[in-house]
Amino acid sequence: MKNFIYIISMVMLSSVIAGCSSETNASLNTEDVTFKKEDKVESENKFPAVKTEGKEKKDTAWLNNKSLYQFEAADGKLKYTVYLYAEHERDTILETDSQKGKKGDSYYRGNYSVYLAEKESDVAFKQDVLSENGEMVFNPSKEQAYTLKMRNKTIISVFQPKGKDEAKGHLLAIKDGEIIEIHSEKEVITSSLAKIKRVNQKFIQTAQSKQDKLVFSTWLFNEETLSLTLHDREELESVNNASWMNQWIEDEAFYYPFKNLELSSDVIEKAKQGIPLGSPYPIGTNINEIMKSEPDFIDKESEDDSPYVRYPDITYYYERETGNVTAISIPGQRMRTTIDEIKTLFGNPAEVVDEPNSDGTISVYTADKYSIEVFSDEEGQVSKIYLTKTIKNHAE
């Protein structure tokens, strides 16, 4: 009997020990995960806010008075001030209008250096970037030096003249307490008459006149590798499309719509729910909600008593009384497809009608209480896709 009680006791004790062991292991595993997280955080911040070893330094109070440009910049949660300064800077006043600028503009030249300081620090440290570029020139009245706020990084853009009305960019960012130049697979060339465009947290866009063409280039920014890759490039005949360049230069919020939508057979099924291609906002969303989230629209007007808000890559039509979106239009530049490819995916349309005031057609596909109208030109290229509650034609 004693042996039996002893065995039972040992079994119970073993269970308790096993339970404690499991608890301990679980605790250790949790601690291990915690340590890994802490190690990750520590590894992410193992560098000083600003690297100082072997770097020349200057007082920020002195640089505040002497530098040609100062920028606020960020690397994640770390905040910085960046200075562009030349030791023997020379400046002149332009006496006549020229490619350098307008009469009366200040024109600066020198061997410029970049200094980095933690925000509100008394000391800034000289960086290695731009040191091999020799003499640089700046007209502060032109868009030659500025910042672009991406997701966790600030891009510091420094442009130099290149030919007539063009500029070559040096794009910089902060990594591990230093400023380095962002690697690009091709030269970043853009119009000297406007800033490059921040499309969103991932994409930027440049534009240039090249012989008899306009070239719009859209770049994908990788903040981990600090690199730019060419995502899309569109060339237009400059004679017939000069308005695109004018609007790109004049409106800071405008960019050329680039190919980023791939058509698929589920477009019709999504349309049945009022969900358009290329937009997170379904039909019925209030236009004020959209404009609050996306404030940089191009224009907001009425068209045949149907008010709309137009962005470069999408147009929302809405009811004047309620403000609710009733239709959405996507420009063809985002898809670059043909009506034949549309028919391959969607089948034959329910109806085909001539587009008013053009040689194109409108192919209508039904999607329950919605309809998809595909506008195409005489060559069959799709110029826009229009989703609406009723079959109703709109020409932008």
pTM of the model: 0.79
Phi and psi at residue 267, to the nearest 5°: -60, -40
Q: Is the pLDDT assigned to residue 129 strictly greater than 50?
A: yes
**Is residue 126 very low, low, confident or very high in pLDDT (cuts 50, 70, 90)?**
very high
Q: Residue 45 pLDDT more than 70?
A: no
CB 287 within 8 A of CB 309: yes
Counted residue by residue, the chain has a size of 396
**Residue 13: per-residue pLDDT:** 36
Give the number of other Cβ atoms within 10 Å of residue 271's Cβ. 22
Q: What is the mean pLDDT of residues 48-76?
A: 95
**307 and 321 in contact (C-beta within 8 Å)?**
no
Q: Report pLDDT digits (tens) over 360-380.
A: 999 999 999 999 999 999 999
**Locus of tokens 């995960």:** 33
- What share of the chain has pLDDT > 90, as a percent? 71
- Whether 187 shows a pLDDT value over 60: the answer reads yes
- The residues spanned by each domain of the chain are 57-250, 267-388
What pLDDT, on a 0 to 100 scale, did the predictor assign at position 8? 38
- Point out the least confidently predicted range of 130-134, 191-195, 326-330: 130-134
Residues 6+ apart with CB under 8 A from 115: 58, 63, 67, 82, 83, 85, 124, 125, 126, 127
- How far is it, in rounded angstroms, from Cα 2 to Cα 10? 12
Token duo for residue 187:
């030269």
Q: How confident is the model at residue 11 (pLDDT cuts 50, 70, 90)?
A: very low
Q: Minimum mean pLDDT among 222-226, 315-319, 390-394: which range?
A: 390-394
For residue 361, give the 3-state DSSP assignment: strand
For the chain, give the mean pLDDT. 86
Alpha helices for 240-383 (secondary structure H): 242-250, 267-271, 287-293, 339-346
Beta-carbon contacts of 1 under 8 Å, excluding residues fewer than 6 positions away, are none
Choice between 41 and 247, residue whose per-residue pLDDT is larger: 247
> Among the listed ranges 7-16, 111-120, 275-284, which one has the minimum average pLDDT value?
7-16
Fold of 267-388: Pathogenesis-related Protein p14a (3.40.33)
The edge-to-edge listing of strands for the beta sheet with 112-118 is 57-59, 123-126, 112-118, 78-86, 69-75
Q: Residue 393 above 90 pLDDT?
A: no
The listed range with the strongest mean pLDDT (45-49, 295-299, 316-320, 392-396) is: 316-320
User: What would the pLDDT profile of 248-295 be if each residue is shown by its tens digit?
Assistant: 999 999 999 999 998 888 899 999 999 998 898 999 999 999 999 998
SS3 226: coil
